[in-house]
Amino acid sequence: MAQIFGPGMDLAARSVLIALGLGAAAAIAFACAMPASDYRTAQHETIAQPVPFSHQHHVAGLGLDCRYCHGAVERAANAGMPATETCMTCHSQIWTHAEMLAPVRASLAEHRPLRWKKVNRLPDYVYFDHSIHIAKGVGCASCHGAVARMPLIRKEASLSMGWCLDCHRDPAPNLRPRAALFDTEWRRGDDTPSPADLMRAYHVRTAGLTDCSTCHR
Amino acid sequence: MSDRLIAPGESFASVTDRVTGIVFDPPHRLGWWLLMLLALALVGLGTLAIGWLFVAGIGIWGINIPVAWGFAISNYVWWIGMASGGTMISSLFHVMRADWRSSVNRLAETMTLFAAACAGIFPILHLGRPYYFYWLFPYPNVMGLWPQFRSPLLWDFFAILTYVLCSMLFWYVGLIPDLATMRDRAPSRAGQIVYGLLALGWRGSALQWLRYQSAYRVLAGLMGPLVISVHSIVGLDFAGGLTPGWHSTQYPPFFVFGAVLSGFGIVLMLAIPLRRAYRLEALITPRHLDILARLTLLSSLAVGYAYAMDLFTAFYGDSRYDHDLALDRLIGHYAPLFWITILCNLLLPQALWWRRVRQDTRLLLVIGASVVLGMWCERILIVLQSLAHEYEPSRWGLFHPTFWDWATLLGTIGLFLAGLLLLLRLLPALSLFELRDLLARRGAAHG
Amino acid sequence: MSLRDTIRARLAGRTGPAYWRSLEELAGEVGFAGWIEEEFPGLAQAFGQALGRRHVLRMIGASLSLAGLAGCSPAAPDVEMAVPVEEPGMEPGSIRHYATATTLGGIATGVLVTHADARPIKIEGNPDHPASLGATSVFDQAALLQLYDPDRAATVTRGGAIATPGEAFGALRARLDALAAAQGAGLHILSGAFSSPTLAAQRAALIAAYPRARWHGHEPASRANVWRGAALAFGREAEPLPALDRAEIILAVDSDLLSAAPGHLSYVRAFAARRAPTAGMNRLYVWEATPSLTGAAADHRFAVPPRDTFRLLQKLAALIAGGSAGEAPGWLLPLAQDLAAHRGAALLHVGPEQPPETHTLAHLINQALAAPIRLIAPVLAPQSSDLADLCRDIAAGGVDTLIMLGGDPVYSAAGDLGFAELLARVPHRFHLAPYRNATAEASEWVIPEAHELESWSDARAFDGSVTIQQPQLRPLHGGSSAHQLLAVLLGSVDADPRAPVLAEWQRRAHAAGQASGFETFWQDALRKGLVADSAQPSLDLSPKIAIAALAAPPVADGLALLFRTDAALWDGRFANNGWLQELPHPLTTLTWDNAALIAPADAAQRDLATGDVVRLAIGRHAIEAPVWIQPGQAAGSITLPLGYGQVRGGRIATGVGFDAYRLRSHDAPWQQGGATLDRLGRTVAFAATQHQPTMQGRDLLRTVSLADLADAASGWDPERPEPSLYPGAEADRPAWGMAIDLSRCVGCGACMVACQAENNVPVVGKEEVQRGRAMHWLRIDRYYQGGEAAPRTLFQPVLCMHCENAPCEVVCPVDATVHDREGLNVMVYNRCIGTRFCSNNCPYKVRRFNFFDYAGAEARPAAARNPDVTVRSRGVMEKCTYCLQRIKTAEIAAERDGKALADGDVVTACQAACAARAITFGDIRDPHSAVARAKANPLDYAVLGELGTRPRTSYAARLSNPNPAIGEES
């Protein structure tokens, strides 16, 4: 009877087997890498806001301090969003009729809150406290990046658990002098106290910083 | 002469015809279809149960606090037990060059394959959040977390995974030469191609045989330890716990005994109807059944010893909790399960001391079935009764199975049955090349 | 599936008609309410009102707390709310406390309401308030859930059709004008018991304006017997206040002293304080027909059938007077001697269920014993006429307009009054309704009543101290208070909720000539939650009658039915409260049901088993009820808890248990004889949380009597630390631990509800409880010792032990439960995959599993949840965390302000609620901490310590002080 398979079959069979092996490996690699990708973490992403507020203009340009708008950052877990009236302190005087600011005026007039889209959003089961990070010498920029150079605010860090742990395992490199906490442009200079000194100055203890209970309740 | 492993007058050709005939010219088509329909119906029920499980949550089962484990874990242990029994037959006895193995090993391996598959379903189903089962793998992740290597569950997961993969491999490798036979025998072109592809270009050259034999032996050598490991781990799932009735060092061997017993039981249960239906009496001879029966008896005694030790340590030891639990096992709410276990696993098999019983296929069938049932009762008893009566009496509570508990169990039984029936019609039910080899070595073959 | 149906039916927030009606009301706000509705359902009503700052801030809070819904709901909104107008001090994440009071039967308990982001999320006791002393009862805790109950009456209706408040008040005025000519004849008002000075003043003003109007009082759990008893003894009504701190021997006769009497929290505090050898341990005797918490706490408890009580008390009096008692139980003489021997430090207390004569007799004996008891005028405003009078007036056709202020009289009226039928005859019926209950259904006009946490009012505590109640938020359902309604009757044009209260207190200030300092007084009273020295002065009264001259009350012969308020639902007002429905009754551990409690002997004689349904009849009235065989119940008596079997009034309330009011008689509200019992052959399945009544001889709950204290404690093997390979607690961190003193615990269950409120513990419904899936992180085990007839009842609160060698941790395959540096056994919900191995491996069985999406199924606005605690999703394990969120809040605050954590900075929810101070929590590493000192107690032991788990929670054995002359625990 006639042969069912030609001699080429050997090669075909072998290459199929090899392909299967490689394919599986590739799939696993992809599955592992995917969650860390910007696509999943939304890192470096900007979101359309009701008002195209420019941190660059207000911070770098006008020299506003972070706390002018995010007033609770030193006292509370939540940094706080500025009340509409905070915007209006200036914008009742300048750009009073700017089309761009219509939603702001509407908010105050109709007494309905502005609904900003969250850019840096943590999972529901993570309890992050701004005040303690500020108190322990972690500056805004460590998580929020160079806000002063962002025309539109964007997510600067992946905010993945691994990313949080990197700092909780070794906070020293991310500490800065009190004066520089709110300066997103600050860079470590020669006169900056060493990380070790800062650790001492802020009484940062690493023991327990990586306990689950530090962030999860 | 009942000690013949192959009836006289069998030749290479006759054996091959007999076995390949089941595939290419199957008898009892109607019966097969009826059985298949039944199996598929059960599979459907099971699928429904699992679907609802994912929609509603594992609350649809009877589990509660204190009895947080129920059917799922017991069924898992039960299935995996039968699986390893099958592996035991094919691998261990291959390594030990036990000739009689040849005509039942394919059956045992196929059974193993599906039993293991059924078992494999449960550990994932029983999770509260099954979609996160992969957290059990130590893989690089953005959370910077590892699994918890002290937990027996983790090793159980690894063990069963390895075990399922290896038994598939073992089963397939064992098939290759027969697949070639099928290829050559297949009447249709399509059949030839499919079997041909699966046969991986087997030509039966001396070199191939040489490589094949060594490869197969290595695999067989690998499977034996795996049986032990997978079941010791399952035993440790319980022994690792603090729960009275679980916290016992003898559990790993105890579970292996049970596994082997149920394995022999199920093989008896399958082999007898099979040889009858497909007239394989010449190949699966009374001698085979006799050996299987003896092995069943042996493992039954081993299990009996384990039961005895369990009770002895409970009553001899000074832990009042173990003591109370053992007493409850004998006379408490779940006592019927215990006594059924004793009856099925210990008392009935004692009949196998008598040669007449070992030769009566009907009785053998009954005993095989009773052992399988008994093992299920034992597993469910260990899980439920221990959890129901732990340290704090204020938290004592019973488990009441729901419709969905039963549906899931039946579903897996359906899956098992369907799988067997399917392969019966697609692949040689007995290992052809080993039978021929046997014939050759017995010099019983004449053209 | 039946069970899911039930969860849905009982708990699920289906948008019923009442729900939307309230939205339709919002003139011009509909669109607005629309998007809030989609943002956080349930809060929608809150925005029905004109917007105020607190609303918007509450809205932020809501978004935060929604962010707590891990997996329970589709992802939380990715929106950050920015308020239009910032209010000073009202920043997100801020926690504040505002003082006010909750009332029960008109009597106040001072509380502090915790606000997260300006919305109430928790209730704590007010340490400055005499009735609270910082503690709370189950009812105080559950008031929060009541506040957020979506089933509360939400719309003004007329004959079932929607109307506006304006129309309703208009109609009221119209009736008033119509009746004005006749000086208000035909105008009748029905209220519950109240102590509010403002309401009293308003009532006076109304009666002054309409002399012929009638005001009736109706309180299902009335204390009338107490006052009448005093009147009989002293010639005027009075309320006795026992000074338990000075009492060495206490005899409680059918007394609710420790569980339900007004001021019981303070009594428990004082009683528990003396349950230690060092504190001059007191001795409590209890006679009672039906087991109570007071009985469970007793050193000697005697089951005395109601018919014998008075006679026995007479014999006791005789013995104390040195006479003879004739034939009497053996223990009576030693008891009498014990009382007599402690003259000046021994007292009797009698419960309101006993007839006046018993009270009189007790007063006289107390006088003889110079008992440490203070007599004060009843703090409740006197009610000249009651529901029976109203019924008579209606029957006589003299009632034209009936205004019912709150409550549910149609449901809670004694069956023999036939109030429901009579009500139909009243031409004009107004009901200020907390719920759409039976009364609301029977009324022409229904005006939603604001919850007391939503309204301005004032109320007196058991000792007369006044608290001015301030609203914690705008009425969620736009309800009105009784004060507002009366203000309308009195002709005020605007129904400003604060005006009446403010006016009354200004008037008082003027009267007292302190008008100048009023503003400071007012602010001070609101801040403290207490009007300075407003307590009732003691009355100096002398007996007007001799014991001999006292006539015995009529005794109830035959099978006696005892009517009692329910430990969870009280008189039924809490029937729609899931926390209380699912709170296991302390003695039966029964949830979602009431049962006819029957003595074991009676049950055996009638061959009844628990769950058998029987028909109980008195005269022509009959009910069907399942029986519960209750150890310690006096033979020949059956106890019927009130408050269940409602047919209207909310999704949870309806169809649970049986309605005992139908059998109740107005003239004999607490007990009736001559009942008949027939078995119906049906049975019901109860949902009890504990099935095993005894300890099975295991060493879980240790008891010691004062006598053999010395050798007992020394006999115990000291807890020797097992060698361990695992690292211990960090040296420079606190080591959290807890000590529970079983001698103090009375088993009231306040800790359970407090824990539920603090930790967002879901309610699961009856079927799930039956399946053994109740979720309480903290449970109270109840064990019986001794015979069924007169067992000793023991309570043991059990929560996560936070074992140092935790068996649960080693078996979790994904590290979802681990130890932290401070020795806490942490449960990481978001890592849990639900193998449940940890629960199997927990010898204390304190772990709870989300078999279904319980939290998601709750009809509870997200805003009502504690934003600092993750809401658990389906398929994850959960358990007590030692209130991790409180620990972290304290630690972060301390770190931020550079201070060291002080002992007492962290108070767990259960600890805060406990009136008995049975729970101590803190850093066991610090030898001076309260908890370390508590653990130094020689009676301190670890449950199941022999397993080597080294629990951080330890117990002090229960100490008893039996009378040697009577012997251990009769």
CATH topology for C562-688 is Barwin-like endoglucanases (2.40.40)
Partners of A204 on chain C (C-beta within 8 Å) are none
pLDDT reading at C313 higher than 50:
yes
| Residue recorded with tokens 């990197």 | A166
Sheet bearing C385-386, strands edge to edge: C161-162, C157-158, C445-448, C428-433, C401-405, C187-191, C214-217, C385-386
Q: Is the pLDDT of residue B376 over 70?
A: yes
Tokens 């709150």 belong to residue: C406
Higher pLDDT, A119 or B413: B413
Query: What is the reported pLDDT for C11?
Result: 36
Is-contact C761 C569, C-beta < 8 A?
Answer: no
In chain C, which residue's Cα lies nearest the Cα of B237? Answer: C811
**Which residues in chain C are contacts of B395 at CB distance < 8 A?**
690, 845
Does the beta carbon of C810 lie under 8 angstroms from any beta carbon of chain B? yes
Q: Which of A40-44, B162-166, C737-741 has the highest mean pLDDT?
A: C737-741
User: With contact defined as beta carbons under 8 Å apart, do C303 and C312 qualify?
Assistant: no
Closest to B91 (Cα-Cα) out of B117, B73, B109:
B109
B237 contacts on C by Cβ (under 8 Å): 837
Phi-psi region of C696 (alpha: psi -120 to 50; beta: other; left: phi over 0): left
Retrieve residue C331's tokens: 């223990």
Determine the 3-state secondary structure of C158 from DSSP: strand
Q: What ranges do the domains of chain C cover?
A: 3-70, 224-376, 562-688, 705-710+734-960
Whether residue C201 contacts residue C504, with contact meaning beta carbons closer than 8 Å, is answered with yes
C235/B3: higher pLDDT: C235
| Percent of chain B scoring above 90 in pLDDT | 51
Distance CA B271, CA B368 (A): 10
C818 phi, psi to nearest 5 deg: -140, 170
Q: Taking residues B189-200, what's their average pLDDT?
A: 89
Tell me the residues of A at the C interface, defined by beta carbons under 8 Å apart. 71-72, 75-78, 80-86, 107-108, 111-118, 121, 123-125, 127, 129, 131-132, 135-136, 203, 205, 207-208, 211-214, 216-217
pLDDT of C718 reads 59
What's the confidence (pLDDT) of residue C4? 42
- Per the rule left: phi > 0, alpha: psi between -120 and 50, beta: everything else, C880 is beta
**Looking at the predicted structure, is the pLDDT value of residue C255 above 50?**
yes
Tell me the C-alpha distance between C774 and C595, whole Å: 20
Residue C473, pLDDT score: 86
Chain B: closest CA distance from residue A186 (Å): 29
> Low-confidence residues of chain A, pLDDT below 50?
none
Of the candidates B343, B314, B340, B321, the one whose C-alpha atom is nearest the C-alpha of residue B388 is B321
C-alpha distance from residue C158 to each of C152, C443, C447 (Å): 17, 8, 9
Tens digits of residue pLDDT in C142-201:
999 999 999 999 999 998 899 988 899 999 999 999 998 889 899 999 999 999 999 999
Query: What is the residue type of C387?
Result: L
pLDDT band at C46 (very low <50, low <70, confident <90, very high): very low
Q: How confident is the model at residue B44 (pLDDT cuts 50, 70, 90)?
A: very high
CATH tag, C705-710+734-960: 3.30.70.20
Kindly report the CATH number that applies to the domain delimited by B2-177+215-446. Answer: 1.20.1630.10
The DSSP annotation for C525-589 comes to HHHHTS-TT-PPPPP----SS-GGGPPPPPP--SEEEEEE-BTTTBTTTTTT-HHHHTSPPTTT-
Residue B68 contacts C, CB cutoff 8 Å: yes
**Whole-angstrom distance, CA of residue C503 vs CA of residue C506:** 5
Kindly tell me if the per-residue pLDDT of C684 is higher than 90. Answer: yes
- Between B189-203, B320-334, B427-441, C695-709, the lowest mean confidence (pLDDT) is in B427-441
- B201 and A10 within 8 Å at the Cβ level: the answer is yes
Could you tell me the two tokens for C560? 């006696």
Chain B contact set for C815 (CB, 8 A): 145-148
Residues contacting residue B371 through CB under 8 Å, at least 6 positions apart: B261, B262, B264, B265, B268, B296, B300, B344, B345, B348, B349
Q: What is the pLDDT of residue C356?
A: 93
Question: In angstroms, what CA-CA distances link C434 with A71, C156, C489?
Answer: 41, 12, 20
Q: What is the pLDDT of residue B429?
A: 85
Q: Which one is predicted more confidently, B97 or C883? A: C883
Give pLDDT tens digits for A50-88: 888 899 999 988 889 998 888 888 888 888 888 888 888
Are the Cβ atoms of C84 and A83 closer than 8 angstroms? yes
Alpha carbons C203 and C642: distance in angstroms, whole number = 29
pLDDT of residue A112: 82
The structure tokens 């207000």 sit at A58
Helix (H) or strand (E) holding C819: strand C817-819
**Span C925-934, average pLDDT:** 92
Task: Specify the DSSP class assigned to residue C382.
Answer: P
CA C790 to chain centre: 27
Please tell me the predicted confidence (pLDDT) of residue C28: 27
In the sheet that holds C300-303, the strands lie side by side as C300-303, C283-288, C249-253, C346-350
Average the pLDDT over C712-734 and give the result.
66
φ, ψ for residue C822, nearest 5 deg: -100, 15
Domain spans in chain B, listed from the N-terminal domain onward: 2-177+215-446
Angle at C84 between CA C98 and CA C527, to 5 degrees: 15
B391 reaches C (C-beta below 8 A):
yes
**Mutation site, C49, C53, C85, C817, interface A, largest A CB count within 10 A:** C85
Report the SS3 class of residue C952.
coil
C308 Cβ contact list (under 8 Å, min separation 6) = none
Q: Cβ separation of B151 and C947 shorter than 8 Å?
A: no
The DSSP 8-state label assigned to residue B343 in this structure reads I
Nearest by CB to residue C93, choosing from A76, A117, A212, is: A76
Classify residue C714 as exposed, middle or buried by CB count within 10 Å of its CB (0-12, 13-18, 19+): exposed
Q: Name the 3-class secondary structure at C448.
A: strand
Q: Provide, as residue numbers in chain C, all residues whose Cβ is less than 8 Å from the Cβ of A51.
A: none
Residue C732's closest CA among A208, B76, A132, B32?
A: A208
Residue pair B5/B438 in contact by the 8 Å Cβ criterion = yes
pLDDT digits over C955-969, tens only?
999 999 999 888 654
CB contact under 8 A, B242 and C874: no
> Which residues of B lie closer than 8 Å to A, measured between beta carbons?
139-145, 183, 189, 192-193, 196, 200-201
Q: Which residue of A has its CA nearest to C69?
A: A124
Does residue B392 surpass a pLDDT of 50?
A: yes
**pLDDT surpassing 60 at residue C1:** no
Q: Which residues of chain A have a CB within 8 Å of the CB of C68?
A: 124
Determine contact: A2 vs chain B, CB below 8 A. no
CA nearest to C95, candidates A83, A137, A211, A131: A131
Angle between helix axes B206-239 and B71-87 (nearest 10 degrees) is: 150
Nearest to C498 by CA among C467, C448, C455: C455
Residue C42 above 50 pLDDT? no
Counting as contact any 3 or more CB pairs under 8 A, the partners of B are A, C
**Residue C381 DSSP label:** P
Collapsing DSSP to helix, strand or coil, B36 comes out as: helix
**Lowest-confidence range among B94-103, C651-660, C661-670?**
B94-103
Q: What residues does each domain of chain A span?
A: 9-40, 47-81+116-215
Question: With 50 as the cut, is the pLDDT of residue C74 above it?
Answer: no
Which pLDDT does position B367 carry in this prediction? 94
CB-CB contact of C671 with C634 (8 Å): no
What pLDDT does residue C258 have? 93
Task: Name the residue with tokens 């006197």.
Answer: C382
Which residues of chain C have a CB within 8 Å of the CB of B320? 697-698
The answer to whether A36 contacts B142, with C-beta atoms less than 8 Å apart, is: yes
Q: How many CA atoms lie within 13 A of C970 on its CB side?
A: 20
Q: What are the φ and ψ backbone dihedral angles of C646, each rounded to 5 degrees? A: -80, 145
C283: which DSSP letter?
A: E
B142 to A162: CB separation less than 8 angstroms, yes or no: yes
Say whether pLDDT at B207 is over 50.
yes
Nearest to B69 by CA among B153, B11, B158: B153
Percent with pLDDT over 90 in chain C: 67
> Which spans in B69-133 are helix H?
71-87, 93-95, 102-125
Side-chain-facing half-sphere of B204: CA atoms under 13 Å: 9
pLDDT of residue C84: 61
Mutation target among B394, B404, B405 for the C interface, most CBs of C within 10 A: B394
Strand partners, C239: C376
Sign of CA dihedral B111, B112, B117, B119: positive
Burial C147-169 (b: 16+ CB within 10 A, else e): bbbbbbbbbbbbeeeebebeebb
Q: Which of C814, C843, C844 sits opposite B147 (nearest CB)?
A: C814
What confidence score (pLDDT) does residue C720 get? 61
A116: chain C residues, CB-CB within 8 Å: 79-80, 82
A43 interfaces chain B, CB cutoff of 8 Å: no
How far is it, in rounded angstroms, from Cα C255 to Cα C261?
8
**Per DSSP, which regions of C296-336 are E strands?**
300-303
Q: Report the gap between the CA of C606 and the closest CA in chain A (Å).
A: 53
List the subunits that have 3+ CB pairs under 8 angstroms with A: B, C
Q: How large is the ipTM?
A: 0.92
CB contact under 8 A, B396 and C691: yes
The per-residue pLDDT of chain C, averaged, comes to 86
Residue of A nearest to B200 (CA): A13
Identity of the residue in B132, B146, B396 whose CB atom sits nearest the CB atom of C692 = B396
How far apart CA C615 and CA C627 sit, in angstroms, is: 10
Q: What is the pLDDT of residue A1?
A: 52
CA distance B142 to chain C (A): 13
> Confidence band (pLDDT; 50, 70, 90) for C584?
very high
Specify the pLDDT at position C30.
Answer: 29
- What number of C-beta contacts closer than 8 Å exist between B and C? 163
* Cβ-contact A139, A176 below 8 angstroms: yes
Whole-angstrom CA distances from B443 to B228, B288, B446, C66, C382 are 36, 19, 8, 81, 114
Interchain proximity A124–C730, CB inside 8 Å: no
What DSSP state is assigned to residue C901? P
- CA A95 to CA A62: how far, in whole Å? 15
Alpha helices in chain A (DSSP H): 9-33, 38-41, 55, 66-69, 84-91, 102-110, 130-135, 140-144, 161-169, 195-201
C772 with B57: Cβ contact below 8 A:
no
Q: What is the CATH number of domain C224-376?
A: 3.40.228.10
